[in-house]
Amino acid sequence: MNALEYAQQANGSFALPDACFKIKALMEDEGSTIEDFANVISVDPSMTSRLLQISNSAIYSFSGEISTISRAITIIGTQAIYNLMLVDMAATAFKHFSNQSIDLKRFWYISVFCGLVTKNLAITAGIRDIERLFVAGLLQNFGELIVAKISPGLAKQCEAYNAEVLPWQLQQQVLGFTYTEVSAELLNIWQLPEKIILPIRHYNNADNIQLNKDVNVLYLASRLALIACHPDIFSSDDSLNARLCQSLNISTGDLDDAANFATIETENILNIMNAKFYG
């Protein structure tokens, strides 16, 4: 199987909720109102509750409590609401594909840590619409769960990475493609915005290609997440590309601040996403 075939099989067992397509359609309709968006979201009490939890979390550091969907839309904006729905979808999809063939604690930690660092570094790099980059960071390795569900033996082999054979290098050797390629293919099937998919598809090649800031930021965030999860194996000196940091005007202090913030907040976000099962 190739990356697309894994994504197609995953889509057959878990499709993107209709609400996400409805919200996307409303975003493309200039005549849509805040009430239209609220009506779509409010029909699902679970989604409403989780969206309010996330909008009041560290992901969005607003003063004052956001207590209604309409207020959340007014303050955050429709694009951010859509991105929050994708986070909600991710929590549900993660549960659907989770199994015991891989280290779920490691998977969850790296995914959420990467999302938080991506958003933080995007702010430092002066990138707009940073919420979509949190989503990209969170979903970039989703392909691992898909492969683990369909081919648990192969996923187990891909966990044996080390300082000499990096995760994406081992995935290429074992599978012929990387987990991020599966992630990108599935998100494309789900019709997620290309601005979310593009950095996921290309960030592992950021050393060799020049695309945009999104790709470079996700590259740095993914490496920081790997270092945070395996400090005994990986270090900043060996894992981070100084040239990319310079191109984004990101200093060593900025990297440390982003990593420290993510270290503190990762457990909080995992709890909000009802991820207690991950351990």
pLDDT mean over 257-265:
89
- Predicted confidence at residue 272, as pLDDT, reads 64
As given in the structure block, the two tokens for residue 234 are: 């990986």
Tell me how far apart the alpha carbons of residues 70 and 77 are, in angstroms, rounded to a whole number: 10
State percent of the chain over pLDDT 90: 39
Which of 28 and 198 is assigned the larger pLDDT? 198
- Predicted confidence at residue 62, as pLDDT, reads 67
Closest CA to 48 of 57, 34, 38, 56: 38
Tell me how far apart the alpha carbons of residues 87 and 111 are, in angstroms, rounded to a whole number: 12
Model pTM score: 0.81
Tell me how far apart the alpha carbons of residues 223 and 204 are, in angstroms, rounded to a whole number: 10
Winning range, highest mean pLDDT, from 5-19, 95-109, 199-213, 214-228 = 214-228
Query: What does R_g of the chain's alpha carbons equal in angstroms?
Result: 18
As given in the structure block, the two tokens for residue 128 are: 């707009």
- For tokens 């057959």, the residue is 12
Tell me how far apart the alpha carbons of residues 2 and 178 are, in angstroms, rounded to a whole number: 10
Is the separation of the CB atoms in 13 and 2 below 8 Å?
A: no
Closest CA to 146 of 186, 113, 203, 201: 186
CA-to-CA separations, 75 to 40, 68, 82, in angstroms, rounded: 18, 11, 13
- pLDDT at residue 13 tops 90: no
CA-to-CA separations, 33 to 22, 70, 72, 86, in angstroms, rounded: 13, 10, 14, 20
Neighbouring CB atoms inside 10 A of 82's CB total 21
- Predicted confidence at residue 169, as pLDDT, reads 94
As given in the structure block, the two tokens for residue 190 are: 């789900």
- Predicted confidence at residue 279, as pLDDT, reads 44
Question: Would you identify the CATH topology of the domain 100-279?
Answer: Hypothetical protein af1432 (1.10.3210)
Tell me how far apart the alpha carbons of residues 267 and 103 are, in angstroms, rounded to a whole number: 16
Residues 6+ apart with CB under 8 A from 121: 217, 220, 221, 248, 250, 254, 255, 258
For 246-260, how does the pLDDT look when each residue is reduced to its tens digit (9 = 90+)? Answer: 888 899 899 999 999
For 17-54, how does the pLDDT look when each residue is reduced to its tens digit (9 = 90+)? Answer: 788 888 888 888 889 888 998 888 888 777 787 678 77
In the chain, which segments carry CATH 1.10.3210.10? 100-279
User: Of the ranges 49-63, 65-79, 155-169, 175-189, which one carries the lowest mean pLDDT score?
Assistant: 49-63
Residues 6+ apart with CB under 8 A from 166: none
